[in-house]
Amino acid sequence: MSVPAQLRSEPASNVTELGYVGIGVSDLAAWRAYATGVAGMEARDSRDGFQLRLDTWHHRIDVRQDASDDIGFIGWRVRDQDALEGMAERLERAGVAFRHGTEEEAEERCVLGLLKLADPSGVATEIFFGPEIENHRPFHPGRPLHGKFLTGEHGLGHCFMTQPDQDAALAFYRLLGMRGGVEYKFDRPNGEKRRPIFLNCNRRQHTMSFGRGYEGKKRINHLMFEYTSLDDLGMALDIVQEKGIPIVRRLGRHSNDGAVSFYFGNPSGWVWELGWNGRDVPAQAEYYRGDYYGHQTDATGYGL
């Protein structure tokens, strides 16, 4: 028996986490070495490239060979099939174009079902439920790790996007059930006012962010992953420096998510951020004009 739409409570169909992403890369070998040898993720071969594991999910990142060197798609999780249908009704009411993914498309993502749409900047967006969890295949890091990647109820991490229309992006991600808004006010020496927006959908302080002034050549600015151990962050910093990988923002601590982190270039010319000890979403909104310390810009040209 299917539950009538009006009996489905709206918040129950909100997105609950950043579940997976797909990226297109021109240099598969460089990316494999980077994701496993620097960050410590586990790689497994796939039809078009390889996939990366951070935990017991079948995979969290799909890496395929193409010339975009940019984000390919973003997958947002909802609780179950009811939540997916609730979201479909919500999108329909809001006039947002979408379609249900086929069984083959769900198989390809290793999920039970999904919707396919695009966010206001044109990034392929998927809303899915039921990821494949491989408890029989424990996570095996690509380099020794003291701890793990912080995922679980925090989701995969966070992404910072280029969004030419900030208001449209905010409306779209709020429609998906995310909350939040401006958390920093930066007044640049050239008079430019930057007011980046940070949105949350679970315990992680922010999962999606974007802001005017951060427009780069890519649709994605950076992806952030979090370790449970400071030692893994320190080892990553050592490896980045040993390999001569450009550091885009030095080690520092953000005021909003509280995480100690640094930013470094990836083989596609955009940025990964690795962090540790992020805090949960605060109960009430607040904003900042600077970080606790650090995060000075080092390598330039990355839109950060």
Q: Give contact residues for Fe ion (rule: CB under 5 A).
A: 224, 273
Across 59-217, where does the E strand assignment appear?
Answer: 61-65, 70-77, 99-100, 111-118, 124-131, 158-161, 179-182, 186-187, 193-194, 197-200, 208-210
- Minimum distance between the CB of residue 224 and Fe ion, rounded to whole angstroms? 4
CA angle 100, 127, 6 (to 5 degrees): 75
- Minimum distance between the CB of residue 198 and Fe ion, rounded to whole angstroms? 9
Maximal CA-CA distance, the chain? 61
- Minimum distance between the CB of residue 41 and Fe ion, rounded to whole angstroms? 18
DSSP labels, 258-302: --EEEEEE-TTSSEEEEEE-PPBPPSS---BSS-SEE--B-S-SS
Residues 80, 70 contacting (CB under 8 angstroms): no
> Toward Fe ion, which CB reaches closer, 58 or 253?
253
- Minimum distance between the CB of residue 197 and Fe ion, rounded to whole angstroms? 12
- Minimum distance between the CB of residue 76 and Fe ion, rounded to whole angstroms? 18
Burial class (CB in 10 A: 0-12, 13-18, 19+), 99: exposed
Q: Residue number with the shortest CB distance to Fe ion?
A: 224
> Toward Fe ion, which CB reaches closer, 226 or 273?
273
> Toward Fe ion, which CB reaches closer, 70 or 257?
257
> Toward Fe ion, which CB reaches closer, 57 or 225?
225
> Toward Fe ion, which CB reaches closer, 33 or 182?
182
Q: Among candidates 162, 138, 160, which has minimal Cα distance to 261?
A: 160
> Toward Fe ion, which CB reaches closer, 90 or 249?
249
- Minimum distance between the CB of residue 115 and Fe ion, rounded to whole angstroms? 27
